[in-house]
Amino acid sequence: MKTAVSLLAILFSFASYTQEAIRPGDEINIKKDVRIVSGVKIDLTPVHAWFRNRNGERPLKHWKQLQVFKIEQAGPSDLCTVKTEDGGFTKMVILNLPANVKTYFGEISRKQAAIAQLKTQIDHDEPIVNREDAVAPTGASGDASYPGYVNSQRVQANLDMVALNEKKQALAKLESELDVLKNRTDLVTVFAMFSGRKYGDDPIWDCGVLVSQ
């Protein structure tokens, strides 16, 4: 649990490559975003500033804002499905994909696996627990040794029901966390430029190597 919380904290703290939602009264800290592409330094700070208010002519028009929806194939360069500025979806190879994007999708995968595991456990346990609850006696009479047996059956049935409900609560919490995470599109928003090259049929884009921000 501590690991999951720390990963979420890391994800939510990363705003290096994203457009942040600025509200009135917020402290605005405009950081420099300088990257190196093919040995050339490029300052993307004006691009971030333009996306905040969209006033005037857009600088560095060849740098596009993309949203990574899926990493199809990870590696030194990543084949991704992305949403482009015009709202369409396409596949592209992205060089220097920010580490926080990969961390984000790793956390998505971990939560999905944990959800699937809990659902399997619940599907297995629920009919057994319900049957156990139905047949466990609720009272005793006759043999003096019988009440102890009845009580132990009922206690076990109650404990198993509690354990089942705890799994359901954990499942609901994970599903809620996953839903929140999937709505954090700012965590998968990147700036990249077309390199002019292709890998097979897929265009190669480059986020550049971050120098400062």
Among residues 127, 123, 106, 118, the alpha carbon closest in space to that of 170 is found at 118
In this predicted structure, the answer to whether residue 14 has a pLDDT above a threshold of 50 is: no
For the ranges 19-23, 77-81, 148-152, the maximum mean pLDDT occurs at 77-81
Residue 172, CA distances (Å) to 29, 129, 139 in order:
36, 19, 34
Give the model's confidence band at 167: pLDDT under 50 very low, under 70 low, under 90 confident, else very high.
very high
In this predicted structure, the answer to whether residue 87 has a pLDDT above a threshold of 70 is: yes
pLDDT of 212 reads 67
Q: Kindly report the average pLDDT of the chain as a whole number.
A: 86
Which residue spans within 84-136 are E strands per DSSP?
Answer: 89-95
pLDDT of 6 reads 53
In this predicted structure, the answer to whether residue 90 has a pLDDT above a threshold of 90 is: yes
In this predicted structure, the answer to whether residue 4 has a pLDDT above a threshold of 90 is: no
Over residues 30-61, the pLDDT tens digits come to 678 999 999 999 999 999 989 988 999 999 99
Among residues 176, 182, 199, 198, the alpha carbon closest in space to that of 67 is found at 182
pLDDT of 147 reads 56
More confident call, 194 vs 11: 194
Residue in the structure block whose two tokens are 């049935």: 157
**The two three-digit tokens of residue 130, written as one number:** 């319900």
Phi-psi group of 173: left, alpha or beta (phi > 0 → left; psi -120 to 50 → alpha; rest → beta) = alpha
Over residues 106-153, the pLDDT tens digits come to 999 999 999 999 999 999 999 999 999 998 877 554 444 555 566 788
pLDDT of 193 reads 97
The pTM for the full model equals 0.74
